[in-house]
Structure 1
């Protein structure tokens, strides 16, 4: 029995909604089919590879810099090249899955990512490494939305769909911290190049599983690509991400920061107008117009803005203030990873049956904000268990509930031919959130550190560093809490898994009709 609905050929008259629901339910695979859970494992492998790469390279950078002999300015571009390509090409990558077939783009993404990783691992100079990182980001932009949209096509039973999203979300929330630990292990005991080569192993496993377990799921009435929308949308995201990256090194007031940010903002406004009039929009506005989905994307944007800033500052705190090694830094993040995994499982197994989506998302964001607030108490000589440990557990608890639900909500209720686009929006929200959040909060941290040194003298470097991090933690907490307020206002009251308030059909029927 196939794990995917095969693509139909030939034009047919559109069925009425009720008939379409019934036809799809009748054609859906056996809910007990274990192949679907094996297929989920393949998709999880791809997600692990993408998210590991976002942090594992950070740990390897000092060793790579010493080996290849590049400057600090060039070091930034090893990270920025990946983020620029990933964020800019995500809308296109999501639409390609809708047009050409999601399994096809899934395999292409894995294969390209593996080749780029091999090139990066064997890089003889900084130019090759940066080019390889950009290629990784480009293929990740194809791979990520394909993996996410395939979940909604594989799982036709709503309970199993939400369980699958729970597993996928738990992996997504903890993979970044795993990358810090893995990067430390590989760098300390093998070689920094294996932080790139490890992707090849994961990609090969994903390709074999994808060819065996997945079928193409492009719709018979598949959309067409709009070249103007693709160019304008990609340029808009590029400008915003590039400007945010330059703000960390050149400041928010510099021309090299303001020019791409302003251009990106104007292009984004033009992109929205273009989607309203284009016959084949890259991102149909119907995908983001729904209140619940809009709230989901906003949750992911703000939560990633806060949590990636915390990742950055805590990594520096562990290594620069507490003197941890790269491996110990990864170990220090383990409680957060465990909290995410446990709470994500609890959310899909228990909380979603008894609580509304609004309550789960808001409570999770409030908990993460409380965790960030606890981190503000961590000083130069504070024991890890005093403030950092409970703070990390609370942040992980919130991410494990709010983000997991947000990822699921961001995919639910979309037209089948827009599933890849919804997956791309999920990822774009996270990428833009992390890029803008780290850039913005880093500016406040740098300013607070500078003012502290001015007041206390240049010898108080460690104290100034900790003070700057404290300001950053407070900003992260504020972002979490602001997200809780905004999402509480946007998510429809009474929305549960079995019924979305204000909608005529229960969500299980809608999901059955979409898949």
Structure 2
């Protein structure tokens, strides 16, 4: 990445060397989060074999991270606004380093579960703080749009590269899947101390809403836990419904607490921004469609076509084209057509990509799958970054952390919902059948989840385009 990161074609002045270096550090942190998630997913079979984990515990290793991430995301975003974005970012990065290292040293399943839960919680504080630092270190307009585009593209590139690195490191020793992020995180931590600056916030004079924070975190944890239980049809349905019921009660309690609090964790006036609301719904649907698709595609390629994990990773690597295309193409498209129209195009491409796989067969070659992978990479290129931009555009600096926490919560919760929905539908259709034809039908039926999510996202975005023809929907009411 150039130290000037000139974006003259996107209408922005070149960044100063220090600003560019700061962006590189922040991009390094979100890249770290992306590869951490992807590498672990590829290494799961090796971890199971070495630690002799049950299927439930192995699934819990993934779910624990999601629980920690989604459960603490809004709390992390508000903490960044109140205690300082730089301070929260550095503290969360330090915790990430410590517990990722613990994961690499794990000798029992409970150690791995603890390490992943706390690592997810640390990411929940680090990610919104990092996005808020990007938003507050670059002026609103083309330069910030370009910075956020690069930042979001780096996250996607980290996930794509992690799919390949996870297979390579797991082939050596699965513990390197944990130790490699520790080494990268240490380098980022040292650079962040020297480079990252944060402007004082008026929010630092506020009290921290402890009752709201505890209630919200518990509600989020139970909601995500309930969603992850849907992946396993053998789970007690009454318990799952009970978990959702308690979560709903806590959400209601949180709403009442915030209405009465003098210093609420979430100021509901932030939802007066139509852009923020649409971007959060879009983020939930976009992530849900992609993670549902990835789950289906992985089972199809490995269990039905007989591909190895490395072959599967390389096949999906084309999705990472957004790391190259997005910084070049997306700012131009956003400047010319606006966020909503670009996001709409991304959803349409994603829907076509998923729909093309509805006709998958047991004798398909990669040539038949490649168009879907390429279209999905293009969809990421033009939708992911504008969704992130729209979530923070026009939001006051003192609530940038909250806005970042909201959109990242939407991404994470959408991922859990899409994965669980696809898994539950596939398992229901498959039933007790074991033939290849039955499994293929189950996967084809499960593809309805990503297709429906992408279509719904396109419709929501289209309504925003229609409403914004005569109104400035990105304008935010004062909090």
Question: TM-score, structure 2 length as denominator?
Answer: 0.92
What secondary structure sits across from 2:460 in the alignment? helix
1:192 aligns with 2:166: no
1:375 aligns with 2:357: yes
For 1:70 and 1:238, how far apart are their aligned partners in 2?
24
Match of 1:208 among 190, 215, 228: 190
Conserved 8 A contact 1:291-1:492: no
Alignment of 1:236-385 (within 5 A): 236-250=219-233, 254-338=237-321, 340-385=322-367
For 1:73 and 1:200, how far apart are their aligned partners in 2?
27
Match of 1:462 among 416, 430, 436: 436
Q: CA deviation at 1:378?
A: 2.0
Larger Rg: 1
For 2:139 and 2:82, how far apart are their aligned partners in 1?
21
For 1:269 and 1:177, how far apart are their aligned partners in 2?
38
Q: Return closer, same or farther for 1:235/1:492 CA change in 2, 3 Å cut-off.
A: farther
Per-residue deviation, residues 353-381 of structure 1 (Å, max 9, x unmatched): 22132211111101100000011222111
Alignment of 1:43-82 (within 5 A): 43-82=26-65
1:432 aligns with 2:413: yes
Q: Return closer, same or farther for 1:255/1:466 CA change in 2, 3 Å cut-off.
A: same
Q: CA deviation at 1:217?
A: 3.1
Conserved 8 A contact 1:166-1:347: no
Match of 1:403 among 375, 381, 384: 384
Give 1:161's aligned residue. Answer: 144
Q: Return closer, same or farther for 1:439/1:221 CA change in 2, 3 Å cut-off.
A: closer
Conserved 8 A contact 2:292-2:421: no
Match of 1:134 among 117, 123, 127: 117
* Worse-matched range after superposition: 91-100 or 219-228: 219-228
Per-residue deviation, residues 183-231 of structure 1 (Å, max 9, x unmatched): 101011x200000111111211211121111123340343331011101
Conserved 8 A contact 2:133-2:198: no
Q: CA deviation at 1:346?
A: 4.2
What secondary structure sits across from 2:107 in the alignment? coil
Q: Return closer, same or farther for 1:271/1:491 CA change in 2, 3 Å cut-off.
A: farther
For the aligned residue pairs, the C-alpha RMSD in angstroms reads 2.1
Conserved 8 A contact 1:84-1:134: yes
What secondary structure sits across from 2:359 in the alignment? coil
* Worse-matched range after superposition: 465-474 or 138-147: 465-474
For 1:178 and 1:31, how far apart are their aligned partners in 2?
28
Q: CA deviation at 1:466?
A: 1.8
For 2:15 and 2:140, how far apart are their aligned partners in 1?
10
Q: Which runs of 4+ in 1 moved over 6 A?
A: none
Q: CA deviation at 1:157?
A: 5.3
Conserved 8 A contact 2:64-2:113: yes
Give 1:413's aligned residue. Answer: 394
For 1:183 and 1:148, how far apart are their aligned partners in 2?
26
Give 2:472's aligned residue. Answer: 502
For 2:340 and 2:330, how far apart are their aligned partners in 1?
15
Q: Where does structure 1 lack aligned partners over 5 or more consecutive residues?
A: 1-29
Conserved 8 A contact 2:228-2:416: yes
Q: CA deviation at 1:316?
A: 1.6
For 2:466 and 2:404, how far apart are their aligned partners in 1?
21
* Worse-matched range after superposition: 115-124 or 52-61: 52-61
Q: CA deviation at 1:501?
A: 3.5
How many equivalent residue pairs? 465
Q: Where does structure 2 lack aligned partners over 5 or more consecutive residues?
A: 1-12
Give 1:17's aligned residue. Answer: none
Per-residue deviation, residues 252-294 of structure 1 (Å, max 9, x unmatched): 8712211111221232233233323321111111222311110
1:489 aligns with 2:463: yes
1:475 aligns with 2:449: yes
Q: CA deviation at 1:450?
A: 2.4
Conserved 8 A contact 2:421-2:449: no
1:109 aligns with 2:83: no
Conserved 8 A contact 1:368-1:398: yes
Give 1:217's aligned residue. Answer: 199
Q: CA deviation at 1:494?
A: 4.5
Q: CA deviation at 1:492?
A: 6.6
What secondary structure sits across from 2:42 in the alignment? helix
* Worse-matched range after superposition: 124-133 or 354-363: 354-363
